[in-house]
Amino acid sequence: MVETFVTAGGLRLWTERIGDPDHPPVLLIMGSAAQGITCPDALVIRLVERGAQVIRFDHRDTGRSSVVDFDAQPYALADLAADCLAVLDGHGLATAHVAGMSMGGMIAQWLGVHAPGRVRSLTLLTSSPMGNRSGDLPPPAPEFLAHLAAGLAPGVESDVELFRVFNGPVRPFDEPGARAMLERAWARATDPAAARNHDRAGRTFAPDRLAPLSSITAPTTIVHGDQDPVFPLAHGEALAAAIPGAHLHVVPGMGHIFYSPGLPEEIADLIRL
């Protein structure tokens, strides 16, 4: 395991490389406001056991990566995708298998459309079409909207409750594992409030996001839970319908995260290598 910072324009991005550098690389792209460590260690370890090297990183405005003044320097999905390419460049990787979760899945789609030469394969986890606008597909579940409306004070406790909602009611929630990760995330964040800028970036619709997903040529797997409270299953089905040859794998009982006993390993086995 090697931690290092790479340069993306004028930004510094924290990265972590796990596994044999001669093995096929997997770039893990996390979701909105999520640090690289949000991906469970058990998932990373399983990928390494399968013969991969894994790269995970903190998006700009999260964790130990650079904080941006969004009002002075607004950014969009394309800029977050450019950060991903900078991470690959920083590790001397021309291409990688790309696995993106939630907003990270939208970034992965952007790469598949606009930087196909860098993408060996795509795995889109708990995600939605990058060009989806409000109203095109089913809205989030009432439980998720109610949590947002409750206006809990930011911190570990409210994030634990958010992850409980993310997990859904079917599979058991690994609260100790989630809490330990969230405590670490809050402790290592340069500016926890900066992560809210991802919501603003996600609402920025430029023509590059509306490019047809039918142009994706990378082998693609969509992994979606039938209990996802953020992007109901129809979002995963829409991805599968839009990307030629994509395979949809529906995970029974899974919500929007992988914090349930045995689930990280189950998901790792579905990521393309």
Letter string b/e over residues 186-224, b meaning 16 or more CB atoms within 10 A of that residue's CB: eeebeebebbebbeebbeeeeeebeeebeebebbbbbbb
Q: Distance (Å, rounded) from C-alpha 176 to C-alpha 145?
A: 24
- Catalytic residue chosen out of the listed positions 61, 79, 83, 228: 228
Q: Distance (Å, rounded) from C-alpha 256 to C-alpha 226?
A: 9
Residue where the block lists tokens 């914090």: 259
Q: Distance (Å, rounded) from C-alpha 126 to C-alpha 267?
A: 11
- Catalytic residue chosen out of the listed positions 102, 121, 128, 260: 102
Question: Are the beta carbons of 129 and 238 closer than 8 angstroms?
Answer: yes
Question: Are the beta carbons of 226 and 253 closer than 8 angstroms?
Answer: yes
Active site residue 102: yes
Q: Distance (Å, rounded) from C-alpha 97 to C-alpha 123?
A: 8
Active site residue 198: no
Question: How many CB atoms are closer than 10 A to CB 181?
Answer: 22
Residue numbers annotated as active site:
102, 228, 256
